[in-house]
Amino acid sequence: MKQYKMTNMIIDDDFAVEEYVTAEFTHNYNNYSITFKKADLEIINTWVFKDGTSFPADLSDEIIESIREDVKRRI
């Protein structure tokens, strides 16, 4: 069973140089965002949103790989 719930996915494919995919999800009652390069799904950044502020997120490799697989299936 998944440890998170994907809530939104944005594919930015109008950039001249590189395209990005941002996945928004909830995990342990927190909201997160992770952005990948669309071409190879390399991580660009991860954020957790708390109290109206965003902080760099520390996510387990297991969750990141699971989200990466979800993104692959959806694009």
Render pLDDT for 22-49 as a digit per residue (tens, 0 to 9): 999 999 999 999 999 999 999 999 999 9
Q: What is the mean pLDDT of residues 10-21?
A: 83
Q: Residue 55: which pLDDT band, with cuts at 50, 70 and 90?
A: very high
Q: What is the mean pLDDT of residues 53-66?
A: 95
* Average predicted confidence (pLDDT) for the chain: 93
Looking at beta carbons, which pairs linking 61-65 to residues 24 or more positions away fall under 8 Å? Answer: 62/3, 63/3, 63/4, 63/27, 64/34
Which pLDDT score is estimated for 1? 56
